[in-house]
Structure 1
Amino acid sequence: MSYQIPCSPVVTETEEKKSRFICWLGPVTDKAAFLRVLEKVRSEYPDASHHCTALVIGNPSNPDTMQADDDGEPGGSAGRPMLELLLKQGVGNVGAIVTRYFGGTKLGVGGLMRAYRGAVGAALQQAELKTFIPLINAEVCCDFSEESRVRFLTSQHLGSCNDAAYSDKVQLPIQLPADQWPALKAQLQAEGIACKTLEPH
């Protein structure tokens, strides 16, 4: 359920038969924000031959959004190998932009695939990655006498409780790392306390 995400953007440069490949790789959680970065990169390198991209938003094993663009390179020779590498390495919430300056020698589809994949690989090696664990939103319904127990158990599982709603019962919204939820849920149910998962955050 957890996956790797980049902490901050990095820029690296590789070369293949005198063609330069400049890779921007950084954290992305929003497609529109990624497109703004792409426009900035285009303006920084206006005379470049291509600006190929790959984007993975969410968990790389089941992304919310993923896309690749060859930007005029032969179909499947640039964006797709970039995207495949990000997915293979288990990196999510990430965007990659590889800017190419043509060096005068055609690389062929196989050479392009290696070069673009290699550019992203070099950036991944330079990038600082951290483990991202998605959060789960849940709601607990308990008696007044059980509220402090629920708050204690939630904190034991690295979670937090939000403002409770009081009627004949206590409705207590909680948020905690997704990998902690099964154990907390089992504890609450064992003590006869009702709980349900809300939409993942």
Structure 2
Amino acid sequence: MSKDYPIPAGYLERETEVKKSRFIARVYPVRARDEVRALVEQAHQDYPDARHVCWGYQIGRPGSAAEAAMNDDGEPSGTAGKPILGVIQHKDMGDVLVIVIRYFGGIKLGAGGLVRAYAGAAESVLSAVDRVVQQVRAMAHVGCGFADEQPLRHWCEGHEGRIEDIQYSSRVTATVSLPETHQEEFAAFCDAHKMDYRFDT
């Protein structure tokens, strides 16, 4: 069974209207909580006069997400963030943030109406966004001499690897993320260059 999973291909925005209230839904691919915070803050800046900026996200594989959270931003508890997250979970999509910005139109929707409106807004944007497959990634911790830093960077460039962190002291220590499918190849590369390495389990 493949561990790869679909994620949003990029940013998309859709607007719906329910009883004169505007619901502006945004979807983003996200990999970390810091990204979520920054994008929610951006939504507040883009729509400073909006009544509510509600959101839900999950990071990791659908069905066994590493992290998920939601926020009602002043709407009655459970009427905004929860339905947004519920739609995300039904879409079988990982690494996804949905923000729904609401402009109140003067007509109260009631709790049931809010749940339907926020779920509908999330549905509209998640149904429209393209998907790409996210490969499950492994994290490796590498120690090497300064001369080996460039070959390490070169290997990463050619194998969808990313250097997430690098520290310099008497030698170079790097944290590398790479597709799980390349783990054996990476181990062989490290062995050939006499680098220390270990994978997160």
Q: TM-score, normalized by length of structure 1?
A: 0.71
Query: What is the correspondence of 1:128-147 to structure 2 with a 5 Å cutoff?
Result: 128-136=130-138
Residue-pair matches, total: 157
Inter-partner Cα distance in structure 2 for 1:172 and 1:135: 19
Q: Deviation at 1:33? A: 1.4
Match for residue 18 of structure 2?
A: 16
Structure whose alpha-carbon radius of gyration is higher: 1
Specify whether residues 46 and 34 from structure 1 end up closer, same or farther in structure 2 by C-alpha distance, changes over 3 A only: same
What is the identity, as a one-letter code, of the residue corresponding to 1:60? P
Q: Which runs of 4+ in 1 moved over 6 A?
A: 170-173
Q: TM-score, normalized by length of structure 2?
A: 0.71
Maintained 8 Å contact 1:161/1:172: no
What is the identity, as a one-letter code, of the residue corresponding to 1:108? G
Inter-partner Cα distance in structure 2 for 1:130 and 1:114: 28
Cα distance per residue 1:42-72 (max 9 Å; x no partner): 0111111100010101112111110010000
Inter-partner Cα distance in structure 1 for 2:196 and 2:74: 53
What is the identity, as a one-letter code, of the residue corresponding to 2:134? F
Inter-partner Cα distance in structure 1 for 2:96 and 2:181: 26
Any gaps of 5 or more consecutive residues in structure 2? 141-179
Query: What is the correspondence of 1:84-103 to structure 2 with a 5 Å cutoff?
Result: 84-103=86-105
Cα distance per residue 1:68-96 (max 9 Å; x no partner): 10000011000001001101111110111
Cα distance per residue 1:160-180 (max 9 Å; x no partner): 3342437xxx9997xxxxxxx
Cα distance per residue 1:83-139 (max 9 Å; x no partner): 01101111110111100000111111111111101111110122111122313579x
What is the identity, as a one-letter code, of the residue corresponding to 1:199? D
Query: What is the correspondence of 1:86-165 to structure 2 with a 5 Å cutoff?
Result: 86-136=88-138, 159=182, 160-162=185-187, 163-165=189-191
Q: Deviation at 1:27? A: 0.5
Inter-partner Cα distance in structure 2 for 1:66 and 1:51: 17
Match for residue 62 of structure 2?
A: 60
- CA RMSD in angstroms comes to 2.5
Specify whether residues 14 and 136 from structure 1 end up closer, same or farther in structure 2 by C-alpha distance, changes over 3 A only: same
